[in-house]
């Protein structure tokens, strides 16, 4: 149930796991929650779910992740409208822990919409000096505002392209930058099956060029000694390892930090 090009690309990138990846792409993804650990522990929230007769299990990678046995409406989740829990895939939750902002840090969340990672960064480190949530799409940026309002959190929203923002920005470098770069989304096909048919083989090279450019621009905004986290929802090395390798080869003052 895939066009030939993603089958070939995934098989080349993940020869031992290609069949499992393709099969997973044809299944509905589980509903994963992110518990706001600033308001309660994951164990407490699992107890609240049990009291509401909602079966769930803790995740294994993110300390805030909870998987529901069956997907359900957010209205049924205890504390959803109080900001105690959000819907977010477990892999996406890792961004806040990997970026690891500290108190009084200045943070730039580039390509921030729809705001899941923005909210998590603020939950994870409530004592930031500032956080700018940047996105080129005004409608999607409004979703960031809506998400932050539900979570009762605040950030500076910036409707702008990263290139233009970098040209106009005159402040000090950021301590932490999250670049959730535009990509082929080949890692979230089970959430968006139409990606299989909308994406074309030629898109990958164009996206990789854009990602390499955005990575260099984001790095120019980083304070010496700061941390930049590059993230995509692609499973293809052309958009991940190879972008990083090319960037490091061209940027002598950048150092890769293994996770």
List the catalytic residues: 233
Contact 191, 178 (CB under 8 A): no
* Spatial CB neighbours of 164, under 8 Å, sequence gap ≥ 6: none
Cis geometry, peptide bond prior to residue 2 (ω within 30 degrees of 0): no
The span from the CA of 56 to the CA of 54, in Å, is 6
- Residue 33, both tokens: 């929650």
In terms of DSSP H, where are the helices of the chain?
Answer: 4-13, 18-25, 42-51, 90-99, 116-124, 138-151, 162-168, 195-198, 201-220, 241-250
For 240-247, which contacts have Cβ atoms below 8 Å and span 24 or more sequence positions?
242/208, 243/208, 243/211, 243/212, 243/215, 244/215, 246/212, 247/212, 247/215, 247/216, 247/219
Helix axis angle for 241-250 and 201-220, nearest 10°, is 40
Return the H-helix or E-strand segment holding 174: strand 174-180
Q: Greatest CA span in the chain, whole angstroms? A: 55
| Distance separating the N- and C-terminal Cα atoms of the chain | 34
The span from the CA of 165 to the CA of 90, in Å, is 30
């Amino acid at each position: 149930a895939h066009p030939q090009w993603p089958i070939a690309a995934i098989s080349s990138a993940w020869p031992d796991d290609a069949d499992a990846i393709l099969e997973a792409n044809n299944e509905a993804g589980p509903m994963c929650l992110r518990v706001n650990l600033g308001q309660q522990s994951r164990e407490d929230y699992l107890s609240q779910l049990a009291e509401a007769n909602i079966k769930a299990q803790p995740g294994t990678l993110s300390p805030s992740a909870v998987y529901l046995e069956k997907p359900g409406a957010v209205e049924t989740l205890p504390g959803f409208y109080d900001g105690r829990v959000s819907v977010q895939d477990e892999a996406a939750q890792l961004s806040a822990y990997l970026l690891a902002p500290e108190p009084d840090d200045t943070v730039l969340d580039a390509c921030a919409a729809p705001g899941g990672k923005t909210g998590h960064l603020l939950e994870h480190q409530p004592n930031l000096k500032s956080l700018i949530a940047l996105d080129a799409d005004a409608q999607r940026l409004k979703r960031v505002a809506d998400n932050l309002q539900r979570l009762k959190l605040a950030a500076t929203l910036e409707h702008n392209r990263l290139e233009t923002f970098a040209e106009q920005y005159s402040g000090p470098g950021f301590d932490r930058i999250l670049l959730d770069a535009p990509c082929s989304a080949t890692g979230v096909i089970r959430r968006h099956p139409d990606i299989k048919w909308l994406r074309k083989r030629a898109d990958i090279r164009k996206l990789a060029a854009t990602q390499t450019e955005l990575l260099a621009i984001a790095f120019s905004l980083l304070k010496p000694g700061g941390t930049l986290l590059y993230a995509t929802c692609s499973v293809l090395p052309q958009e991940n390892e190879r972008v990083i390798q090319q960037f490091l080869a061209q940027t002598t003052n950048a150092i890769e930090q293994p996770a």
